[in-house]
Amino acid sequence: MSSRSKPHDLLPPVTDDRLAAHLHTWLGRWPGAVPGLTVVGSPRRVEPGWDGAVHPVIGVRSPNGGVLSVPPPVAAAVAALIAAGDDGSGVPAAAGLVGRWFSGVFRWSTAPAALPDAGDWVAADDPAVPEWLRPFGGDVLVAVDPDTGEHLSGVGIKRHDAHGHELAVVTIEAGRGRGLARRLVAQAGRRVLDEGAVPTYLHARDNLGSATVADAAGFADRGWSMLGVEPS
Q: Which fold has domain 120-220?
A: Aminopeptidase (3.40.630)
SS3 of residue 128 by DSSP: coil
Render 168-221 in DSSP notation, one character per residue: EEEE-GGGTTSSHHHHHHHHHHHHHHHTTSEEEEEE-TT-HHHHHHHHHHT---
The C-alpha atoms of residue 95 and residue 76 are separated, in whole angstroms, by: 10
- pLDDT number for residue 15: 53
- pLDDT tens-digit readout, 137-166: 999 999 999 888 889 999 999 999 999 999
pTM of this structure: 0.91
The C-alpha atoms of residue 138 and residue 121 are separated, in whole angstroms, by: 10
Structural contact between residues 93 and 60, judged by C-beta atoms closer than 8 angstroms: no
Q: Where in the chain is the domain with CATH 3.40.630.30?
A: 120-220
Report the 10 Å Cβ neighbour count for 128. Answer: 10
Structural contact between residues 186 and 65, judged by C-beta atoms closer than 8 angstroms: no
Asked if the peptide bond before residue 31 counts as cis, ω within 30 degrees of 0, the response is yes
- Collect the ranges in the chain with pLDDT lower than 70: 1-15
Residue 118: closest CA among 141, 137, 138: 141
